Structure 1
């Protein structure tokens, strides 16, 4: 259950995009790759996963490197995603409140609360480079039974295909 939640959060985080009406600081449009550190408590779960589960993750675009302790995925930020950014990759059934976003300089801070399928909160700090073609992130995710911090980085690879 915890691994499923972790993977869902990675998918959401990987698809984060920003709308200029909420934050002046936005990433460039294009194809991006996000690489997250796998928290220590999650590494054991990944090591116990059957090969079929890894294959399914790869088919969905995720790459797990247990020796490096990272998980990566690629995603496209296009104009449509910028206009629907407030969904943050969430389906309406997940019932998340509209994120509270602020920015200053090259840093964006976000707080989001979700009610379904499990109540959770996410606090994020995203620090862009000057060109906005790369950023570092830290997400603190808290639920009733678990808390974890995800750290990583993302970079623009080129145009969307």
Structure 2
């Protein structure tokens, strides 16, 4: 199965949270595959959120996507509901410190059998300790790219999940 088919199957009917959505690039790709699902993008930057709305005008108009200017630490855990998939691409707070408050919020936002996917370049698998200390089960993989670059992808399951690691 191709990577795009796997992504499509993963998000087709899910609620997806895009943390640090920036200008909505990942959201645009996900929205093409959502089917009946919905996406909520969060970013601290008003400029980025405005650009995400513009880039994703059609899914927003169809009620399949929304964007909010809001730091993850400021999210009221019960307000946005529960998400089956939570994504963060190059969001430094997960790599520069323990992100204790934010991981606690994500644990409440993530469905019991949901998945948290963190991607970061350059990769440093040594930075996963804070996820396991917060109770998440985490699996990491590094993908090398041409010219010596690489991407670290981490898939984490919420505390107390009974599903095996991906």
- TM-score normalised according to structure 2 size: 0.28
Higher relative contact order (CA 8 A, sep 6+): 1
Q: Which has the higher strand share?
A: 1
- TM-score normalised according to structure 1 size: 0.29
Q: Which has the higher helix share?
A: 2
